[in-house]
Amino acid sequence: MSAFSRGYSGFIYQNFHVPSSVRIPPVTRPQWLHPTKQARLFSSSVLKQLASPANISKSTRTAQKPNPSSQAVKSRSPNVAAVRFPTSNAAIRAIEKSPTPVLLYKEPRRGMLTLATYAAGSLSLIGGMWVFQNLYLELPKELPWYVAPLYGSISIIMFVLGMYVLASPVGRVRSIETIPARPGKPLRLKIKARIIPIPFIKPKTMIAKLGEATIRQQVRPIVQELAEVNAHKAQSIRLGLDRTFVLFRPFIIVRRFFSRLFFSWFINSRMAFTRFGIIYLDLHDSKWKIDASGQFLDSGSPLDKFIKTY
């Protein structure tokens, strides 16, 4: 099995520039790495509007004015402090001072992948029950003693694997947006999540103060990893064929087509079985999932500032 996996990885790498996230778990990328054009990000229009000179100068003038009342409260209760995330990013400060809600994250459309996930999980459950019924309970007595435990273990593994796959689309976050700060109320986050991915079920809306919601890993590195993977999946199979002999081009195109097909299958299977590209969010004693393939504002940098990482 290890030799097959090494050969398959080498076959994929020879045809395309396979990103590092396929071969090893996602790691933190250097700061010079930027997502490609195929990445589904929507940072330019919103950040240009929020980080305009008027908003930034207004926020700077507000920050420079001293507040005697706040200094008095701080002197009376030095141990009590509000949760805030200091930053030098002008766009983040503009989001904090924005009078309108700002969308930070939106879930991608995963209709076909959800159906394929449910189909794979259901087949695994049915296969496990069939093995348990026909090969374990009705096993002939003349077979060796170790055959029955073997079939029983196989049925249990298939059943558990099917339940694990079926739980993949459950508890997904649909959107995260900010609630503007008002007098007496700091900046908050509005999180919409859906327990079961059924269209006619209304999503659950949760309001979180800064510091209440936590994530297990930073958002930006995972978003950049998936941006690289999506760019590889969207790569043209005709790339670099101009200098190739004309008679060889159809064979190269067919080889690249099947290579990209197997690569997409491998990535989708990894997402379903290993939770690749999923960021776990903890809020109010509940765990939710953020799909890193979704649309993030500024590659997820505002989420890394407003949500704590543990």
Q: Which residue has the tokens 């099917």?
A: 162
What pLDDT is recorded for position 49? 54
What pLDDT is recorded for position 289? 92
Q: How many CA atoms lie within 13 A of 287 on its CB side?
A: 7
- The angle at the Cα of 270, spanning 266 to 111, to the nearest 5 degrees, equals 90
- Which token pair is 170? 């459950």
CA distance 115 to 24: 27
What pLDDT is recorded for position 45? 54
Cross-strand pairs, 268? none
Contact 194, 203 (CB under 8 A): yes
Please report whether residue 253 resides in a domain.
no
For the chain, how many structural domains are there in total? 1
Give the three-class secondary structure for 103: strand
Please report whether residue 159 resides in a domain.
yes
Number of helices and strands (H, E) in the chain? Answer: 11, 9
pLDDT by 10s per residue, the chain, length 310: 444 444 444 544 445 455 555 444 444 444 434 444 443 444 445 445 555 555 444 444 444 444 544 444 344 434 333 444 445 567 778 888 888 999 999 998 878 888 888 898 999 999 999 999 888 888 888 888 888 899 999 999 999 999 998 888 889 999 999 998 887 788 899 999 988 877 778 888 999 888 888 998 889 999 988 888 888 888 888 888 888 888 888 898 998 899 888 988 888 888 777 888 899 999 888 899 999 888 898 888 888 888 888 7
Please report whether residue 143 resides in a domain.
yes
DSSP strands (E only) in the chain: 103-106, 172-179, 188-194, 204-209, 214-215, 278-283, 286-291, 295-296, 308-309
Q: Residue 142 sits in which domain range?
A: 111-166
What pLDDT is recorded for position 71? 45
Please report whether residue 298 resides in a domain.
no
